[in-house]
Structures are given as structure tokens and as C-alpha cells.
A and B are shown apart, each in its own frame.
Chain A
């Protein structure tokens, strides 16, 4: 039998083969090569990580030993395996999608470089995830950062792309430096640079270094994770990047930030202060709220999706923060649920965000425009893309039975579990964060109703949108694969939670699978863990429906509480789907029966009798999101320019010009003051440079005197 390690070696060979072949093959063949090689590589890495994830066969590969830096070790444990699995899951459809999508760049940009960078990026991400010592981690992290910058800046002939690429690179490097300092503090006093030896000495660290490591690693990795306030690069990088790279950026690369935070703060040096958990929770919640608010008012599809990524990363981080708080407070079960929730949401986000970005890419390549105000009516010309985008939108808006619902519902339930905590202040923070996350979930629905309805429904607002054609099948199939996985991850949570539970058990030291997925299919009479009364009650409700037919533990997600309150929360998207299908088919058949004898005539939409229904007259994306814009005026704080040109009689306006400028709240309240402060300091210091040589000589003299005085005093 081939072991996961062998598949991993195969993956590395395939990536190198991809790099070599893409250099030597003619440019025209490159996209197809990329699709084949990297999708096979994705399958092999999926197999490899899937084995580790399901059967727990971690493998370790020792690379060469470096002088002073120790041995470079690659090790895939279950936490790495989950992230690698998600990476493969996103890379597989995106690679297939790229074959057709990249053709539009032919003869404009070099496809060979894209292909080389793409394979290298894939390899570096996977290597980063399984790097097991500081040196290889930071090395692969840097390679990954630079390659993702190069891919985002692929359309380098546009100036704005270059500047957003630079912003991305600069912020990413700043984050890396912070993370590197966190690692240095960890390595201080340990024998080696591999994670195992760091872990062995981490228990002896003092409070101040723990705080320093937490703050440095959290805010350092939050740059890649796209958390407020380090998220400003994300909405700029996404519109610059090609859509397939955007899908990777949101579906894979943002996860790496979460991986870094989890690796340091949950694995190597588990948090010990409740404040660390609260900071994580707070930053996550603020990111979620700020992200969705800006997502709702943005009309460019990809900018909107970028802000929505910030929102989802915020929800994941809030889940992790709740997990930290529960861990510190001594509730390993609740902590386990919180971590499972966060990882589940991360998986889901990777799937549906990749799907939505591919959808946006399909629209972009077919229409040539991403502004929702200029799209519309695409459902008629691009029905399949529309259907898959709809599934992505339903998933991200957290509507059952799709995957977003399960993880967002679990996140909100986790927030409610704070009732178990002792401290009142912590409870209040949890309550406020829970309320903010609920608001986020509601706004997400608004945001994606707008995104889908304004782009795909109604009438076409431009000629291009009217003349769009459905994308080729090789672009549709990847979207279909992702859409189906969105549905599967939504209706089969009881099969996914045990896998995630394996992943987090090493972090919380307690398996919580019995707490979340009671084995209704297999539980026997007089089971010590499940009282007969409890089981029979749920069997009466039908929780064992499917027993002996379906494998697994059951189809109900249920968290048990105390005797007084036996069920804290419970739901089953699987049964929901069955009921939903039955209801919908029932209604459909009923309508067919009732209207069988009726004559049905089709007439155009009633437009109020206007002479010609112009696209401008229909509801626009701007109009749809305007209530949100007005309600949250205090956050957006736009500067308005209202210019009216009127004839002398003042009855007829010849032109009305309304401009609205918004500076992102993070830019406005964090970065602009810093820039202003630095500039004012520079002006202050600049006064020293008067240009007169005599004064400069005086500076030299004064410094010399000061140094001498200090020397004398010491």
C-alpha cells in the first residue's frame, strides 16, 4: 500500500514537473498543462492529507540538517492535514477552471510565468502547512508571500494593480516580521528550532513573554488572515488579481493566517490568559461586522467578495477566541465545540468563497465587467453560472441546507454557551459579540441577495451584459464541483464534525464528538454515556431514522447539557433537506394539479405603462444597499459633493452631480493618523536640515559632547 508520505512525494514531483514543463512547453499549451498537472497534484495531496485526517497516519520527513539552524522537518499531523486537505480541495477546481480562464491573457501576459508561479505557490503552501520547524516555516511563508504577490500582480501593466500588489507585499512582510519575532521569543531558551522542542519548553515561559508572543503572533498572522485592522490590503488585492488567483487568495491563503494563529497559540504555546481569548474574540467580531458592512455597500463583485472574506475570517477568529476563553476558563468541551465550529466555518468559507470567486471570474470573462450596477439579467444567458453562484450565495448567506448555515449556527450557539462562564464581564463581552455576529449574519443575507439579484436577475443594464454567453464547460464543471461540495458539507455535518474533532483533540485534550454528534444510529440500550430516557426520547422524535441503512453515528447535531436541561441545542440539516424536498415537490405537484385545466398566458412584466423600460429605471445595486448605507452612516462617514447646474429660471436642472467619497473606517481611524503622525514628526525633524554646513558641524560637536558626558557619567 502506498503511504500518505509517498503521495506527498508524488505531489512534490508533480509540482516540480509542472514548473519544468511550463518553461519548456509553448505558451499556448500552458493553461492546459497547468490544469492537468496541478489537478493531479491536488488529488494526490488530497489523498495524502485525507489519509492522515481520517486514519491518523501522521508522517514525518526529515530534510537536510543546516548548520546552526537544526534539522528541517516536515511533519503532517492532523491539524496540518486539515489545512492541506482544504488547500487541495480548493486547488483542484481552481486548476481546472484556470485552463479556460487563463486563455484570455494569451498574448497579453506571459502565461509561462503564471504557470510556474502557480505550481510553486501550490508547493510552497503545502510545504508551509507541514513545516515543523521555525526555519522551514518562515522560509516557505516568505516564498508563499512573494509568490502570492506575484500572482496577484499578474496584470502588472495596470498601475493600480501594481500599487495594490505593493501594499499587499508590504503588509505581508510587516506581518511576517511580527510573526518571526514571536517565533524568536519562543525559540529563546529552547534547544532546537523544531516545533516539538519549542512545545516542550513553552510551559516554563513567563506571563510577559506569553503576552508578547500572543500579541506578535496574533497581529502578525492576522495580516494574512485579513483581520481588522490589518485587512486593508485585501479589498485592493482581490480586484487586481485574476479571478482564479482570487479564489486561491480567499480560499487558501487567508486560511494560512488562521493556521499560524492556531499553530502558535493553540498548539505550541496554548493561551493561558482569558484576555488573549477576549482580544481574539473582539478582533474577530469587529472584523466580521466591518467586513460585512463594507461588503454590503460595494458594487464591484470582487471587492464585495473581498470584504465578505474579511467578515468570514472574523467569524472564524471569533470562534477561535471563544475557544481560547473556554480553554482558559476550564471548559474543554465547550472549547472543543468552539474550535470545531471555527474550523468548520473555515472549510466552508474556502469552498463557497472559491465558488463565488470563480463565478465572478466567469461573469467577468463573459461580460467584461464586474460592477453589479452594469450587470443584470445574466440568469437568462448564463443559467449554469447563475445557478452555481446562487448556491454559493445561499451558502455564504447561511441559509439551510447549505454549509454556511451549519457553521454560522454553531458559531452563534457557541456564543450562547458563555452562560457557563463565571465572570460577568466576560459574559457581557460574549453577549455583545454574539449580538454583533447575529447582525453580521443578517447583513450577509442582504449583501448576497443584492449580489445575486442585481447581477443575475432583472434586465440587462448594458449591451455587454445582454450579449453575454455562457462560459465553456471546463469552467462550469469546477463551479459545479464546488457547489455540490457546499451542499454536501451542509447536509452531512455529522460526518464532518468527527473528522474535525480528530483534528482538535490534540489541542484541547478532549474528544467532544459524543457531545456534538450523539451516535443515534449505533447507541445500544443501557449505554453508560447516554441514558435510556434520553435516547428513547430522541428515537421517538425520529433521530434514528435511517438506522441500519446509513453508516455513521447519526444525522442530528446535538449538544447535551445537564440533567435539568438535557438538550442545549440540536438541529439536523440532513432531515431538513428531506423535509424541504418533500415540501417543495408537494407544493409543485399541488400547483400542477390545481392549474392543470387552467389556461396560462405569458405576458411581459408590467412596467407601469412606460414607453420603454430602460435599464436605468430598474432597481440598482446602489439603491438596494442604500438603506444599509444610511443606517450605518456613522461608520461609513462619507464626504458628499452635491453639485447642481441649473438654468437661469431654476426650474430645469441641466446636470446633477452627486459624488460620495468614503474612506474605509480602518484607514480613517488607524492608518491615516499614523501616517499623519509620522509625517509631522518628519517635518519636525526636517527642520534640522537647514542646509548650512556650519550648523551641521555644530550637530557633530553637540553629539560628541553628549556622548562624552554620558561616557563620563557612566
Chain B
């Protein structure tokens, strides 16, 4: 006999309590490197980074989250690993909203419709975005909904480096969205092109095509980071800046 009702009642609510409470379950986030004081081994640490996310500035090793793919090479297998942040509230607002007409009003706080477009992602970000719609993370409880059409969407989620073939669909989707609208770049690829960078086949990040408002770093970012990004859009979480804002804006990694 089908006992799923009973089983469900017995199991109780397992959904995460974030954002009301901190989520502390182990393995909820892979974490990101934090900068650290140099100890004379900066050249060795910096050279271990495959994506040139680590930089040596003065006496600090700083991390560029636009590029970090948290590969753990700066954590494991070296003597003096960098400090490791196990949190997940990584989303950052990178664009000041100055125009009042673009402001998402109070009405959107608990009714935000999301359209996700895969801009040539490897699949990791996609599976993390899938998670936010599932019972554990369940964005419906927050009033966030994924819609099939951009005509009803307030937020455009983009993952992947925006390949040549996906440029037009993303442009069209952004164009079809009613104002006011927001764009969230999910994952390192969507922020800076990631390990693909800009090339003949890749735009190298969504910002080169349409203005992104929020970036969620990570490769891939855990679901809670994505939820954090969505909460930032509706100002239900205070906007923070990247902990190590080593700005390289305007400069492309592989130029």
C-alpha cells in the first residue's frame, strides 16, 4: 500500500530554515578561499591557482571571486593553505540601481518570477538551480517562482559563459521581460567567462551582453547562494560587497 502520506507526516518538515535561521548542515557549501597574510610563500600559493584568481597585493593574498572555481588547490596539498570560508552568502550586488523606474517595488518581495536561461553552462549550475525548486530548498515558500516564459518573469537567471548560439536567445528573453527587470549571473562562467573566458565562441560572461545586477560566484554556487542572490534582488537581505574586492573590472582574464 502507498504510505507516502504517513511517511511524509512521520518525516516532518525537512526544508531548510534559511533565511530565517543559519543553515548549518555539513556539506551545504563547498566554501570559497579567503585572502590571507603572506608568509613568504605567496609566489607558490598564487602559482597554484589555475584561473589566476589569487593575486599578491602588498602583504596580502587576495582572491578574485569572479574567477575562483574553488578547485581546492590553494587549500589542499600545500603547507600554508589560504583561509577557507565555509559560508554561502556570496551573492553580491554589482550595480547601483539609480533609476527609480527600474526599482523592484514592495510588491515583488513575496512574488518574484524567475526565468532561467542556460547560456552554455557545463551542467553544474543547472543542477544547483534545479535544487532550489526542490523540497529541501523550496523557493516557493519564499514567494519565488520559476516561469516558463520571460514575458512573466521579473528576474533572469543566466548560467554559463554565454556561448555564441545562446547570445540571441538571452537577448530575446531579456528583451521580452517586462520592466522592471533584474539579471542574476549564476556561477563563475556567467560572471567572467570562467575557465572558458571570452573567445570566438563565447561572450565571456553575461555582463558583456546585458547588464547583470547581481552576481553569485562559485563553480557552481550552492543552492543557498542562489537563494541569497534572489533575496538580494528583493532587498530581503542586505547587500554586501565581495569580501576581497580585488576589482579587475574591465579587464578580461585571457586578454
Contacts and interface: CB of A to CB of B under 8 A. Distances in A.
Contact of A606 (B117, B150, B170): B150
Contacts of A609: 117, 168-170, 172-173
B126 to A, nearest CB: 16
Interface string A591-633: 0000000010101101111110000000000000000000000
B100 to A, nearest CB: 13
Contacts of A601: 178-179
Contacts of A607: 172
Most chain B CB atoms below 10 A, which of A601, A604, A607, A609: A609
Given A601-B178, A603-B176, A611 B168 contact: yes
B151 interface: yes
B23 interface: no
B149 interface: yes
Interface residues of B, number: 13
B59 interface: no
A639 B230 CA distance: 56
A606 B168 contact: no
Contacts of B85: none
Interface centre among A601, A607, A608 (most CB of B within 10 A): A608
Nearest to A603: B176
Nearest to B117: A609
A606 B172 CA distance: 8
Interface in A191-232: none
Contact of B149 (A599, A604, A606): A606
Interface string B137-166: 000000000000111000000000000000
Interface string A416-451: 000000000000000000000000000000000000
Interface in B169-201: 169-170, 172-173, 175-176, 178-179
A604 B176 CA distance: 7
A606 B178 contact: no
Nearest to A599: B179
B179 A606 contact: no
Interface in A334-360: none
Contacts of A604: 176
Contacts of A603: 151, 175-176
Contacts of B170: 609
Contacts of B178: 601
A577 B178 CA distance: 36
A52 to B, nearest CB: 59
B169 A606 contact: no
A608 B169 CA distance: 7
Interface string B109-137: 00000000100000000000000000000
Nearest to A612: B168
A609 to B, nearest CB: 3
Interface in B30-85: none
Contacts of B168: 609, 611
A516 to B, nearest CB: 49
B99 to A, nearest CB: 13
A610 B176 CA distance: 13
A384 B151 CA distance: 30
Interface of B: 117, 149-151, 168-170, 172-173, 175-176, 178-179
Which 3 residue pairs spanning A and B have beta carbons closest together? A609-B169, A606-B176, A609-B172
14 contacts: A599-B179, A601-B179, A603-B151, A603-B175, A604-B176, A606-B150, A606-B172, A606-B173, A606-B176, A607-B172, A608-B169, A609-B169, A609-B172, A610-B169
Given A604-B176, A608-B169, 4 more contacts: A601-B178, A603-B176, A609-B117, A609-B168
